[in-house]
Structure 1
Amino acid sequence: MSDRTPDAARQRRRRHTRERQAVVFGVLVGGLAVSAFGAAAVYTGSWTPPFLARDFSSPEPTGLAAANSPCPPEGATPVPYGEVALTVLNSTNRVGLAGDTASALLQRGFSIAAEGNAREAGYESYAGSALIQFGTQGVAQAYTVAAQFDTPQLVLDDREDASVDVVVGSSYSALVAAADVVLAADQPFAVPEGCIALDQVTPAPRPVPPPATEPPAEEAPPAEG
């Protein structure tokens, strides 16, 4: 009967409480010990947890997204801006983008031959920053222009003159800051990684404007009679 007295019940509760506390403290101490061991292993380099082993960094852009991007000719140097004839084309739905880009290039001294809509000039929509298209006579001019854009795509086509087309895409926001343009008049272009020797590139066909759509002919009025 003594085990059923109030005092005995209180003692049992205290004993159970102490046992639970001992278990909780034991778990906490064990967890802290495991954490300390793991931290020491990571710190010393003897163990790398899986979430740290993953590489979250993005690959560095090459700046040459096309398979037929030609390397600059050996020893080629930048062309004076005023000697580069540019056609600036807008391949997006942003009204006035070609004009704004042409104005920005004009302020830097480039010669703007024309500006307009990319589709009307035979180009498709472009999702990158800037597509720079040119012929074998305009490689140095194209590289001079490419330095003004962030990660442009360079494409060689079969045109025979030194003109350069700039197709502004949906990723374009602004020209590279003039102070960040890495060009020196007396220093050859750096050869970018991933480019192909000029004589090994097969030129793409130069875009051709689609034929103009003629308005439907008006029906002749019925003859009287």
Structure 2
Amino acid sequence: MTNPSPDSSYDEARVARRKHEHERQAVVFGVIIAFLAVCGIFALAMFTGSLVGPFQREFTVVGVSQQEEVPAPCLPEVEGQPDGALPLPYANVKVNALNASTSQGVAKAFETVLVERGFTVLELGDASVKLEASELRFGKKGIVAAYTLAAQFPSSRLVLDDRTGETVDLLVGEEFDKPLDVEDVEIAADEPLTNAENCVPASEITPKERLEFDTDVAEEASGEPEVAEG
């Protein structure tokens, strides 16, 4: 009987060791590939909106209030205007320009634009809250005035509150938009205003409590943002 040579034993051991290493590498690479595939599927689902990440949340500015979704009130019937409420003359729209953002000088900049366009600005001040989106707040008697003003700021929310007068508060929020250029404002004195989308009769809305504001603001704020017509 012939005994295997030492070299033959070494070769067999080397082959076995390489086979074991290859198997181990295959397992490791397989796990890595499977993990990357799962990560890719998870990332694609989040990108397409099919899956919301466990820590996903909107970015917010410290101190800015969350705004409750509220319906806009529909335009009221106006005596003598059977086809619908007409816009008010700008001079008849009485506005309080209020800063509701963390920026300085915003209310003053909007006041300048409103005055240039003929609106009557009663007060300039700081609102008691900071808001993300700009709002027009008004009472039931100020709905037509609010719609007239909203034509300048179509992205502003229309919010009914419990005031009894006709004034409108323009609360300039953190993500404010400039007023439309004059030629882009889509209202005319002889054409009825259009109801806001998904509006609700004012009688069916529970008015919000009117916000307080501070009129002790500087006449000329430093770093005043540019919101005049482009």
TM-score interval for Structure 1 and Structure 2 normalised by the shorter chain: 0.5 to 0.7
Aligned to 1:102: 111
Quote the offset at 1:205 in angstroms: 1.4
Aligned to 1:174: 178
Aligned to 2:187: 183
Q: Which has the larger radius of gyration?
A: 1
Is the Cα–Cα contact under 8 Å of residues 88 and 166 in structure 1 kept in the other structure? yes
One-letter code aligned to 1:73: P
Task: Report whether the alignment pairs 1:71 with 2:74.
Answer: yes
Which secondary structure does the structure 2 equivalent of 1:199 belong to? helix
Is the Cα–Cα contact under 8 Å of residues 77 and 186 in structure 1 kept in the other structure? yes
Task: Report whether the alignment pairs 1:85 with 2:94.
Answer: yes
Is the Cα–Cα contact under 8 Å of residues 87 and 148 in structure 2 kept in the other structure? yes
Within-5 A mapping of 1:1-225? 66-74=69-77, 75-119=84-128, 124-128=129-133, 130-208=134-212
Aligned-residue identity in percent: 36
Unaligned runs of 5+ in 2: 1-47, 50-67, 78-83, 215-230
Distance change (3 Å), C-alpha of 1:194 and 1:81: same
What CA distance in whole angstroms lies between the structure 1 residues aligned with 2:162 and 2:98?
19
Distance change (3 Å), C-alpha of 1:166 and 1:209: closer
Please, which moves more after superposition, 103-112 or 180-189? 180-189
Is the Cα–Cα contact under 8 Å of residues 66 and 153 in structure 1 kept in the other structure? no
One-letter code aligned to 1:151: S
Which secondary structure does the structure 2 equivalent of 1:167 belong to? strand
Quote the offset at 1:156 in angstroms: 0.6
Quote the offset at 1:209 in angstroms: 5.0
TM-score by length of 1: 0.60
Quote the offset at 1:93 in angstroms: 2.1
Is the Cα–Cα contact under 8 Å of residues 74 and 201 in structure 2 kept in the other structure? yes
What CA distance in whole angstroms lies between the structure 2 residues aligned with 1:93 and 1:152?
17
Please, which moves more after superposition, 167-176 or 130-139? 167-176
**Superposition CA RMSD, Å:** 2.2
Which secondary structure does the structure 2 equivalent of 1:179 belong to? helix
Distance change (3 Å), C-alpha of 1:125 and 1:140: same
Quote the offset at 1:208 in angstroms: 3.5
Quote the offset at 1:173 in angstroms: 3.6
Distance change (3 Å), C-alpha of 1:209 and 1:106: closer
Distance change (3 Å), C-alpha of 1:206 and 1:106: same
Quote the offset at 1:66 in angstroms: 4.1
What CA distance in whole angstroms lies between the structure 2 residues aligned with 1:208 and 1:95?
18
Is the Cα–Cα contact under 8 Å of residues 87 and 114 in structure 1 kept in the other structure? yes
Quote the offset at 1:72 in angstroms: 1.1
Q: Which runs of 4+ in 1 moved over 6 A?
A: none
What CA distance in whole angstroms lies between the structure 2 residues aligned with 1:153 and 1:126?
11
